[in-house]
Homo-oligomer: A and B are copies of this chain.
């Protein structure tokens, strides 16, 4: 999607350690009007797929998931990173390895909010090694629901996450796919 690629070129900053900093519009400050445009694009891509729920993971997935889901007219469910006191009911659990924060953590979704009748669109801001996305897919599978597909804003296509998920026969639509990036050379798209 040209719009997103141009924005990344303009406002994204490549940092040491394979970091693409897009926190001026995507995951710290949120350019809401811009994310609405991404949401409309996901709607166009998944039109007719009978999506019943959008699933994402806290925290940075929530904004783009909500702004996308409004075009589908379906609720968002966000997986939580720890089991809190506020969730009484049983939960589905899955494990995520965070390379950014160098930790492993559980994510949970209340069993109330995913059912075998659901066709789920998984939305997230980033796809790199695929640990979060794989964990979200596990939650959907645990519920007996169906993954209609994944909608990702920025995919680091030089890492293995996208390939890993697509090789399972799951549709992954990424609005910007990065072929390579470096502090000196900036970002090159696929």
Contact = CB atoms under 8 A, between A and B. Distances in A.
A111 B100 CA distance: 21
Interface string A120-138: 0000000000000000000
Interface string A41-76: 000000000000000001100110111011001111
A24 B113 contact: yes
Number of chain copies forming the complex:
2
Instruction: Name the interface size band of chain A.
Output: 35 or more
A66 B63 contact: yes
A112 interface: yes
A36 interface: yes
A183 interface: no
Interface of A: 15, 17, 19, 21, 23-25, 27-33, 35-36, 58-59, 62-63, 65-67, 69-70, 73-78, 80, 84-88, 100-101, 109-110, 112-113
